[in-house]
A = this chain, B = another copy of it.
Amino acid sequence: MTGSCFVERLGHYLRLTDGEQSALSRLEGQERVYRRGTLIRQEHERSSELFVVHSGWLLKFVLLNDGTRQILRLHLPGELVGLSCLAFPVAVESLCAATDVRVSVVDRTAMWELFADHPRLAVLISMLEQVERVATGDRLASVARSKARARVAALILDTICRLRLINRDTESSFVLPLTQEEIGDATGLTAVHVNRMVRSLVDDGLIRRSGHHITILDEPRLGEVAGFVNRYAAVDSTWLPSLS
């Protein structure tokens, strides 16, 4: 047991050697705890820190010049957040705690050393960044080209598919700890319209909801409504050379 859900997550994709495991465990530094709503990092702030999410959810977002917020990504436990600091000395995205969270801090130079010493991990981390990039592209397509109802449905499906990667016994029920305004900021809608679309999904028997607890009643039909494709299931790391 390493105790880090990041190492555990990488282990899903690759059988890690002892050297790789210990390098990963040295990667994570100081642990921090934030309460729901805390702004962890602000755009334009000088920073070369990455975070590993241990528990809780993070929101990654940008603010537009008219003051509106665009949530770019929900980050769940086990994820590495903030690789953009490889390219930018100044934060290009803000981070805030969607729930109470525990994270640990990773320094940029530690990432560099990991890349230098463990190329398999470098490729694996790059792979997972690609998955995130592709998912962001899917969200772009969803926001740009589909209707409000479909976007909300897509967010729900994307989220549950990712939760299933973490917790294999997630069925079709989960807690979405976002306010309707946050769902709107993620999908490019107003809170008011999110409310109407959720109601519409409930009325059509696609989902059930009580508070923030959501149950998917008809996943195939919801997927059809959303135009959703589960990219996460298609990831393949078996081509990487085995070292064990």
**CB–CB B227/A134 < 8 A:** no
A137 to chain B, nearest CB (A): 5
**CB–CB A236/B123 < 8 A:** no
Interface string of A139-153 (1 = CB under 8 A from B): 111011110000000
- Give the residues from 117 to 157 in chain A that come closer than 8 angstroms, CB to CB, to chain B: 119, 122-123, 126-134, 136-141, 143-146
- Which residues of B have CB within 8 Å of A116? 119
Interface stretch (choices A86-94, A158-166, A196-204): A86-94
Question: Counting CB contacts under 8 A, is A64 at the interface?
Answer: yes
**A interface residues, how many (CB within 8 angstroms):** 56
Q: A115-B123, A119-B122, A123-B112 are in contact. Are A134 and B187 (CB under 8 A)?
A: no
**CB–CB B64/A145 < 8 A:** yes
**CB–CB A136/B138 < 8 A:** no
> Would you list the 10 A-B pairs with minimal beta carbon distance, nearest first?
A144-B188, A70-B141, A116-B119, A87-B127, A65-B227, A87-B130, A72-B137, A89-B236, A143-B144, A140-B140
Nearest B-chain residue to A235, judged by Cβ: B87
Question: Counting CB contacts under 8 A, is A108 at the interface?
Answer: yes
- Which residues of B have CB within 8 Å of A140? 70, 72, 136, 139-140, 143
- Copies of this chain in the oligomer: 2
Q: A88-B235, A133-B136, A140-B140 are in contact. Are A112 and B240 (CB under 8 A)?
A: yes
How distant is the Cα of A86 from the Cα of B131 in the complex, in angstroms?
9
How distant is the Cα of A27 from the Cα of B93 in the complex, in angstroms?
33
Question: Counting CB contacts under 8 A, is A192 at the interface?
Answer: no
**CB–CB A231/B143 < 8 A:** no
**CB–CB B115/A122 < 8 A:** yes
- Which residues of B have CB within 8 Å of A87? 127-128, 130-131, 134, 235-237
A109, A116, A224 interface centre (most CB from chain B within 10 Å)? A116
- Which residues of B have CB within 8 Å of A1? none
- Which residues of B have CB within 8 Å of A134? 84, 87-88, 92-93
